[in-house]
Amino acid sequence: MEKASWWGTSLLEAGADRYPWVISRTEESRSELRSAVAGLGRAFADHGMGPGSTVLLRMRPSLTCLRVLLALWSRGAQVILVDFRSSGAEYQPLVDLLRPQYTIDSDAYTGPATGLADEVPFRVRSRPTGVPATSDACLVQFSSGSTGRPKVIGRTPQSLLAELGRHAALAELPGAGDRVLVLNSLVHTMGLVTGVLYALQAGATVVLPPAPTPSDVLETARRTGAVAIYGVPAHFELLTRTAQAPPLPALRLAVTGGERLPVDVYEEFHRRYGVPLGQVYGVTETGLLAAGLHGPRPPALGALVPGVEAKVVDQELHVRLDRSPYLLDDQPDRYADGWLRTFDRFTADDTSGELSILGRADSLVTIGGLKVDLAEVETVLRQHPAVREAVVLHHEVIEAYVGGETAPEPGELIAWCRERLSAVKIPKRFLAAPALPRNKTGKLSRDRSAIRSALCPDPGGATQ
């Protein structure tokens, strides 16, 4: 496939012309999408955009944003995709660092602050100080930054097509004529690639709920006959807490990713909806790497998908890549000698190859000469009936941040941990809140400064 046509040949030619590619507040057919993309492509050409142009795209979640993305690719542009929710303090340094030639934003939008819009106005601005692309990446993304400053990652057409091919090898995923409801952020990998781009390639229809409330999501799934629902664990937790759920006879697949799936969410979703909650695993640098769509019970996740070469070294997953995925030479500890460190810890079954996730490599700390797995402490805290979510960090001592509507007092949590953990693993500081802060992909933040800033805790915290 020619590099210049990858975006169209692969993504826009599947499916009947009149068949909807998307359902939200309205439906749009594939022929209407092709026409809209062509029109936007001509408009962008009038602005001078062409092969190698660098364009920073920062728009509200909308069908307009997806059309603009495809149209920019039709011009051969390198798209720097920025989450609309990024603050000025987050957004401007990216502009200064990457120096795009153009910016496209929807700051003039005055509609609802949440949910997905069909149409949003946008403006195109030229930046005389911008520079053209210096790599063949067509998509520039940023890591979710759950532990701090995001990394700048470039995906080439070949990288995206290879990832789409890995999706195609999974027979359980929706195919032509199916409808898949996507709750993930559309500017991050699972929502964009697994959700939108693969559905386009497979001839499926993307269902995007106009409103994010659990009742609206479930009603949209029922009304559209969605066969699959994609989301992060927090989405599925909310779906398990609804007072009454409508029957979803078409639903046969539910898939989550982005962070560890709590066992209680897995079990309750299966009990309520009769569908096991499957998992996918990937990183922004490569996209999809492993899947267990049949719904293995956590911490089991699934096996590597066809086309992935990886190895587990000292319980950490390393992935073979032919080049560094980073646009800036600032990640020497992450890519070396053809191997990408994921910083995620797994065990692998010698017979089946199935992976079980243990947590982040940085969740393993040494205290008093003993190894402590902070992910294990989080699991124990989550088992408390009043704790819905937990983040455990090490900063001089072990600190536990727990979320729950009626979170228990530190003394109760200490007693709970003493019954289940050795003394060295018990947190010395506890902070409880109704909910813990999450990043833009819906993952629990693990940035200590961000957590403490959001929760405004007592500086000392509770002490054991």
Q: In the chain, what are the domains?
A: 3-355 (3.40.50.12780), 368-455 (3.30.300.30)
**HSE-up of residue 78 (Cα within 13 Å, Cβ side):** 22
For residue 236 the two structure tokens come to: 């599925």
Q: What pLDDT does residue 146 have?
A: 47
- In the chain, % helix, strand, coil (3-state, to 5) comes to 30, 25, 45
Q: What pLDDT does residue 332 have?
A: 78
- Residue 83 has what DSSP assignment? -
Q: Name the burial class of residue 210, with classes exposed (0-12), middle (13-18) and buried (19+) by CB atoms within 10 angstroms of its CB.
A: middle
Q: What is the sign of the dihedral through the CA atoms of 87, 89, 92 and 96?
A: negative
Contacts of 283 (CB under 8 A, 6+ apart): 143, 189, 289, 319, 340, 342, 344
d(CA 8, CA 40) in angstroms, rounded, equals 14
- Residue 190 has what DSSP assignment? I
- pLDDT tens across the length of the chain (464 residues): 455 577 777 788 877 889 999 999 999 999 999 999 999 999 999 999 999 999 999 999 999 999 999 999 999 999 999 988 877 777 788 889 899 999 999 986 666 667 788 999 999 999 999 999 999 999 999 875 544 567 899 999 999 999 999 999 999 999 999 999 999 999 999 999 999 999 999 999 999 999 889 999 999 999 999 999 999 998 999 999 998 889 999 999 999 998 889 999 999 999 999 999 999 999 999 999 999 999 999 999 999 999 999 999 999 999 999 999 999 877 778 999 999 999 999 999 988 889 999 888 878 888 877 888 898 999 999 999 999 999 999 988 999 999 998 878 999 999 999 999 989 999 999 999 999 998 877 788 888 888 998 886 555 445 55
State the pTM of this model.
0.85
CA distances from 208 to 45, 164, 203 (A): 29, 20, 16
Q: Which of 289, 251, 291, 255 is nearest to 272 (CA)?
A: 251
Question: Are 217 and 273 spatial neighbours (Cβ–Cβ below 8 Å)?
Answer: no
Please report how the helices 30-46 and 63-74 are oriented relative to each other, as an axis angle in degrees rounded to 10: 60
Contacts of 427 (CB under 8 A, 6+ apart): 377, 392, 397, 398, 399, 400, 413, 414, 417, 464
Instruction: Please spell the DSSP secondary structure of 367-429, one letter per residue.
Output: ETTEEEEHHHHHHHHHTSTT-SEEEEEEESEEEEEEE-TTPPPHHHHHHHHHTTS-GGGS-SE
Give the tens place of pLDDT for each residue, 287-320: 999 999 999 999 999 999 999 999 999 999 999 9
Place of tokens 């007072």: 243
Phi-psi domain of 104 (left: phi exceeds 0; alpha: psi -120 through 50; beta: other): beta
Q: Which of 461, 439, 404, 384 is nearest to 187 (CA)?
A: 439
Contacts of 422 (CB under 8 A, 6+ apart): none
d(CA 198, CA 375) in angstroms, rounded, equals 32
**The Cα angle at residue 130 between residues 126 and 131, in degrees rounded to 5:** 130
Q: What is the sign of the dihedral through the CA atoms of 185, 190, 195 and 196?
A: positive
**HSE-up of residue 367 (Cα within 13 Å, Cβ side):** 20
Q: What pLDDT does residue 1 have?
A: 43
Q: What pLDDT does residue 456 have?
A: 67
SS3 assignment, position 446 = coil
Question: Are 46 and 72 spatial neighbours (Cβ–Cβ below 8 Å)?
Answer: no
d(CA 309, CA 194) in angstroms, rounded, equals 20
